[in-house]
Structure 1
């Protein structure tokens, strides 16, 4: 299970990559900063659902370090 599947790894203000509902078929990543955590359970197999500061909602696939590199790989 990746870091984006565990709620404890997601914090408000974190730079993440999410997959929007309409992009689930392609897996296109949208980057942004977490504004709200929407998933209440401690884990989710498809990623924790969050809302970004720009209002986009999706499931976390990547968590980025402050230098912009992915921490998932």
Structure 2
């Protein structure tokens, strides 16, 4: 399992775990498939920001192994 800090690790349709803005204090992870990659930088220390297919936006906290 990797942490999604590098944009090159993330692709559209990938199953990921994200931390939503409202869950930053608790660290609760929400799972879904990537619809859009919102961070343009190649690296982000807190995780690349993505929009999931259900419309929720968060930073990638983990990339589960298939």
Whether TM exceeds 0.5 here: the answer is yes
Could you give the per-residue CA deviations for residues 7-38 of structure 1, whole angstroms, max 9, x where no partner exists?
00000000000000010000000000000000
Runs of at least 4 residues off by over 4 Å: none
Higher relative contact order by CA 8 Å / sep ≥ 6: 1 or 2? 2
What TM-score results when the alignment is normalised by the length of structure 2? Answer: 0.94
Q: Do the aligned partners of 1:20 and 1:59 also contact (CA within 8 Å) in 2? A: yes
Q: Which runs of 5+ in 1 are unaligned?
A: 67-73
> Cα RMSD between the aligned structures?
1.0
1:65 Cα shift?
2.8
Q: Which residue of 1 aligns with 2:33?
A: 33
Q: Which secondary structure state, in structure 2, belongs to the residue aligned with residue 4 of structure 1?
A: coil
Residue 54 of structure 2: aligned partner: 54
1:3 Cα shift? 3.7
Deviations 1:33-73 (A, max 9, x none): 0000000000000000000000000000111233xxxxxxx
Matched with 2:42 is 42
2:63 equivalent in structure 1: 63
Aligned length: 65
